[in-house]
């Protein structure tokens, strides 16, 4: 199995504040990685570096041969979608394909096919013509996940996606992420949930005092007992 993303001696600072110091790690294709650390430890900074939103001071991020940065699906912690925006579900999900349109001004059939496929994967195709503003919180989060899925078939990044979900909705959401991972998607998820049942991936990237360490989930849980 080849790598999806790897970091080589990656260092990032804000002014004199060193946030990431000489990080080296490998995320293989079909890994499910949970990124953990205290608030302000650098979790979102690492994700921004992977997405190309910030430039590292030194080192680099290297992608696998068939992975392009612009085709990574991303579900941010604070979505820019107004949760009461008067749009249908399919319109919200279609917006996930905008990065692939290039100079084209209109959605193509293949974009609509990707959007419907993402909705079908999450079992909400029947909601495609429903107004987004009328959905429950759990349904809205599924739609936003579908939007991220419409952008990618390779790598999905999520920033604390369960923040606004109750226990039952979070468990169902995590089950869906597991199924997406089993289908071949590489997933990287920032999480503040450190209970064993919430560390649902096979790898953990831990950030503490600018030090980044990568563990198997089982080794991480043993070390923190």
- Torsion of the alpha carbons at 72, 98, 90 and 115, rounded to the nearest 10: -50
pLDDT (0 to 100) of residue 103:
47
Cα angle, residue 184 at apex, residues 93 and 81 outer, rounded to 5°: 20
CA distance readout (Å), 70 to 48, 101, 102, 135, 174: 13, 11, 11, 29, 25
Q: Within the chain, which residue ranges are assigned CATH 3.40.50.300?
A: 1-70+153-164+188-225
What pTM value is reported for the model? 0.88
pLDDT single digits (tens) 35-59: 999 988 999 999 999 999 999 999 9
pLDDT at 7: 96
Pick the CATH number of 1-70+153-164+188-225 from 3.40.50.300, 3.90.1310.10, 3.90.420.10, 1.10.260.30: 3.40.50.300
Regions in the chain scoring below 50 on pLDDT: 103
Give phi and psi for 150, each to the nearest 5: -65, -20
Q: Which of 185, 90, 105 is nearest to 147 (CA)?
A: 90
| Span 108-117, pLDDT tens digits | 888 899 999 9
C-alpha dist (Å) from residue 129 to 85, 92, 114, 168: 14, 10, 16, 26
Q: Tell me how many degrees the CA angle 47-92-193 measures, rounded to the nearest 5.
A: 40
| Residue closest to 164 by CA, chosen among 179, 145, 182 | 145
Which of 214, 210, 146, 142 lies closest to 173 in space, CA to CA? 142
Rg (CA), the chain: 18
The C-alpha atoms of residue 159 and residue 149 are separated, in whole angstroms, by: 14
């Amino acid at each position: 199995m080849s790598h999806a993303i790897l970091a080589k001696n990656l260092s990032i600072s804000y002014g004199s504040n060193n946030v990431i110091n000489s990080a080296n790690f490998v995320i293989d294709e079909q890994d499910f990685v949970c990124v953990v650390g205290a608030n302000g430890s650098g979790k979102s900074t690492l994700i921004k570096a992977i997405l190309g939103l910030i430039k590292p001071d030194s080192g680099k991020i290297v992608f696998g041969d068939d992975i392009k940065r612009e085709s990574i699906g991303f579900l941010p912690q604070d979505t820019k979608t107004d949760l009461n925006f008067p749009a249908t579900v399919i319109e919200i999900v279609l917006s996930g394909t905008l990065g692939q349109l290039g100079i084209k001004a209109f959605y193509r059939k293949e974009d609509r096919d990707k959007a419907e496929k993402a909705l079908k994967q999450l079992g909400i195709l029947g909601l495609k013509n429903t107004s987004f503003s009328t959905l429950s919180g759990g349904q809205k989060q599924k739609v936003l996940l579908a939007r991220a899925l419409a952008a990618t078939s390779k790598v999905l990044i999520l920033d604390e996606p369960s923040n606004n979900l109750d226990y039952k909705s979070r468990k169902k959401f995590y089950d869906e992420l597991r199924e997406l991972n089993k289908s071949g998607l590489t997933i990287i998820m920032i999480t503040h949930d450190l209970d064993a049942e919430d560390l649902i991936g096979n790898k953990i990237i831990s950030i503490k005092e600018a030090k980044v360490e990568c563990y198997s989930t089982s080794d991480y849980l043993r070390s923190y007992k």
